């Protein structure tokens, strides 16, 4: 199966969820002109990463604004939407939550970011997630992690062992760590023999400048498209027969010897 995947590299307005929802809708409506099968957004696109003083007031409540918007657009355009993530308040706790919608607009998966980025204090503002996330889009098994999660290869390998063929990684990854962004995304694709859709933001938030370079990477580690550092929409096709082919040629999953691994 071949799927066309659209990556929405968005310049997020800091602490302005209304403006960001409007822009997300505009970009999705533009992206569907290219007839993608899947549209992907970046991390915390509702508020940016992340307004510490009034995060609780700005966050979605139970994901409702995001679910209404993305569910409506997915249903209207009959397109799958991997909705990046949003700041999301449930009860008295705030989560960094991703939502996934199928072509009928149904929310088929939710994921709370497990690893908060401790250097910025994310873990003190956002509650860490406790469940992994896999789902199917048009019969293709997929998984999601968020930004800093990518540094934890055990998490990604666990998803790969569960049979995913593509990993979605919404992020707000800043300079000067562009080399880390590219290298880690390529490594996760190569070592797990799967596609990686890494969707980053651009622009600034306080003293952070985000490095963009949203990418679709194939299981051989080839970058099929790269968005550079401007706000834009890019698309590329993922041929999922490649996954089966590489896993037959170089069967690292069969050749694993987990009895020797102490993780």
Question: What does the angle CA 15 – CA 44 – CA 101 come to, to the nearest 5 degrees?
Answer: 130
Q: What are the percentages of helix, strand and coil residues in the chain, rounded to 5?
A: 35, 30, 35
The catalytically annotated residue of 23, 43, 67, 122 is 43
Is position 147 annotated as part of the catalytic site? yes
CB 199 within 8 A of CB 44: no
Burial of 58-78, coded b for 16+ CB within 10 Å and e otherwise, reads bbbeebebbbebbbebbbebe
Residue 205 and residue 126: Cα distance in Å, rounded? 18
Catalytic residue of the set 23, 40, 110, 113: 113
Taking a C-beta distance cutoff of 8 angstroms, is the pair 31, 37 a contact? no
What three-state secondary structure class fits 120? helix
Query: Given 67, 127, 133, 147, which residue is catalytic?
Result: 147
Kindly give, in sequence order, each residue whose CB lies less than 8 Å from that of residue 34, ignoring residues fewer than 6 positions away.
4, 6, 233, 235
* Interstrand relation of 107-112 and 93-101 (parallel, antiparallel or unpaired): antiparallel
**In sequence order, what are the beta bridge partners of 237?**
4
Q: Which of the residues are catalytic?
A: 43, 113, 147
């Amino acid at each position: 199966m071949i799927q066309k995947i659209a990556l929405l590299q968005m310049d997020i307005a800091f602490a302005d969820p209304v403006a960001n929802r409007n822009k997300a809708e505009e970009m999705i409506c533009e992206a569907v002109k290219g007839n993608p099968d899947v549209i992907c957004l970046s991390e915390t696109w509702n508020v940016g990463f992340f307004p510490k003083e009034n995060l609780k007031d700005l966050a979605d409540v139970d994901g409702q604004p995001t679910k209404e918007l993305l569910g409506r657009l997915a249903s209207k355009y009959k397109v799958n939407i991997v909705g990046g993530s949003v700041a999301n308040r449930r009860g008295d706790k705030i989560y960094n939550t991703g939502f996934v919608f199928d072509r009928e607009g149904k929310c088929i998966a939710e994921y709370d970011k497990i690893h908060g980025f401790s250097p910025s204090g994310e873990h003190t503002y956002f509650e860490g997630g406790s469940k992994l996330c896999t789902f199917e889009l048009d019969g293709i098994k997929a998984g999601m992690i968020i930004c800093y999660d990518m540094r934890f290869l055990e998490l990604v390998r666990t998803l790969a062992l569960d049979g995913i063929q593509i990993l979605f990684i919404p992020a707000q990854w800043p300079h000067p760590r562009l080399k880390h962004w590219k290298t880690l995304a390529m490594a996760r694709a190569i070592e797990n023999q799967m596609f990686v859709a890494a969707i980053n933001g651009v622009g600034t938030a306080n003293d952070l400048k985000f490095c963009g370079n949203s990418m679709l990477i194939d299981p051989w580690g080839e970058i099929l498209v790269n968005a550079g550092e401007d706000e834009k929409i890019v698309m590329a096709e993922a041929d999922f027969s490649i996954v089966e082919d590489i896993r037959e040629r170089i069967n690292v999953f069969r050749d694993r010897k987990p009895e020797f691994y102490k993780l």
